[in-house]
Amino acid sequence: MKSLKQSIATAALIFAAMLNANAQTTETKASPKDLVDALHTAFGDNHSRAVHAKGIILQGTFIPNPAASSITKAPHLQKKTSKVTIRFSDFTGIPTIPDNITDANPRGFAIKFFLPDGSTTDIVGHSFDGFPASNPDEFQKLLLAIGASGPQAPKPTPIEVYLDSHPIAKTFLTSQHTPASFATLTYFGVNAFKFTNKEGKSRFVRYQFIPQAGLHYLTASELKSKGSNYLMEEIKSRVSSAPVKFNMYAQLSEPGDDVDDPAVAWPKNRKKILLGTISIEKVSENTMEEDKKLFFIPNNLPAGIETQDPMLDFRSKAYPISVSHRQ
């Protein structure tokens, strides 16, 4: 594993160059490979997932709500129940990150739906309503700042400098709640999609996944008593007793809402339509082979759903690079 300390000097130079380059142009310069490389700079190259490396795979079903078919013709949102594979995860690309530290926020929630024709569709979400950057270049700069800010970095560190001028990223990294369980968090699909129904009418939406168990967070003192794998162990125990359920919603945009910027959350009072219920019923085998084979691509979409947010397609090009790297 490449340590954070080893990458400080190189990352600091790259970060400075990126700042200078982006001060001179508004063009998108980062490539999908650049983004994966920046994730490795921030968290180390561990030949695992470049981000959300530590996780647990589970199996379940999705039962659509009849109202879902009014806004999209997507096959899994009609009448038939679908099988789903779920992966909960911790933040960062460090496979051994402890569950009981705040750096493991936001927690990830990825879903693969198995459609009637044998194809699949994926959703990738996390436990924060928003993204730390509006575009790939800003996200790359954030990651390089993290990678250049190890214990030996002089003050103010590159990440401190970056966050001072990027309040959205600062809020993302410093204001999150640590959960009592993966099952007691709301998860958000922070990118906008265009839903189109059978009549050809379209709406822009973002996903929300609200736990039927309610929201339960840990205080700082409660967190100290938890072990480094408490979330992985808790979800296994919980699912063995009863299914874990989430209500899956489409948050509908209104005129003036930004559908191209994942860093800008839509107002909380926007109307939501219940798309259905995800029921997580058992823990998967979670072998190394299974984890390597499983991947979620955000623009793997059926008819009736299209990407809208440009960053979603960019991220989707980065995912296969990360997948090939961890084989």
pLDDT digits (tens, 9 = 90+) for 260-293: 999 999 999 999 999 999 999 999 999 999 999 9
Q: What average pLDDT does range 40-62 have in this prediction?
A: 95
- Tens of pLDDT, residues 119-130: 999 999 999 999
pTM of the shown model: 0.90
Q: Are 114 and 83 in contact (CB under 8 A)?
A: yes
pLDDT attached to residue 320: 86
Burial-class residue 259 by CB neighbours within 10 Å (0-12, 13-18, 19+): middle
Confidence of residue 151 (pLDDT cuts 50, 70, 90): confident
DSSP 3-state of 157: coil
**pLDDT value at position 2?**
39
Interatomic CA distance for residues 171 and 178, integer angstroms: 15
Helix (H, G, I), strand (E, B) or coil at 31: coil
Q: Which helix (H) or strand (E) holds 162?
A: helix 158-164
Strands (E), the chain: 55-64, 82-89, 108-114, 120-126, 187-196, 202-211, 244-252, 272-283, 305-307
Residue ranges of E strands in 6-104: 55-64, 82-89
What are the pLDDT digits (tens) for 91-113? 999 999 999 999 999 999 999 99
Pairing of strands 82-89, 108-114: antiparallel
**CA–CA distances in Å: residue 28 to residues 36, 135, 143, 240, 295:** 15, 8, 16, 47, 26
| Domain residue ranges in the chain | 4-325
- Return all residues near 324 (Cβ < 8 A) that are at least 6 apart: none
Residue 27's pLDDT band, with cuts at 50, 70 and 90, is low
pLDDT score of 184 more than 90: yes
For residue 26, pLDDT over 70 is answered with no
Local structure of 100: helix, strand or coil: coil
231 touches 181 (CB < 8 A): yes
Angle between helices 310-325 and 136-147 (to 10 degrees): 50
> Are 299 and 316 in contact, with CB atoms under 8 Å apart?
yes
CB-neighbour burial class of residue 76 (10 A; exposed 0-12, middle 13-18, buried 19+): buried
Give the tens place of pLDDT for each residue, 205-255.
Answer: 999 999 999 999 999 999 999 999 999 999 999 999 999 999 999 999 999
Between 321 and 4, residue with greater pLDDT: 321
The architecture (CATH level 2) of 4-325 comes to: Beta Barrel (2.40)
242, burial (CB in 10 Å: exposed 0-12, middle 13-18, buried 19+): exposed
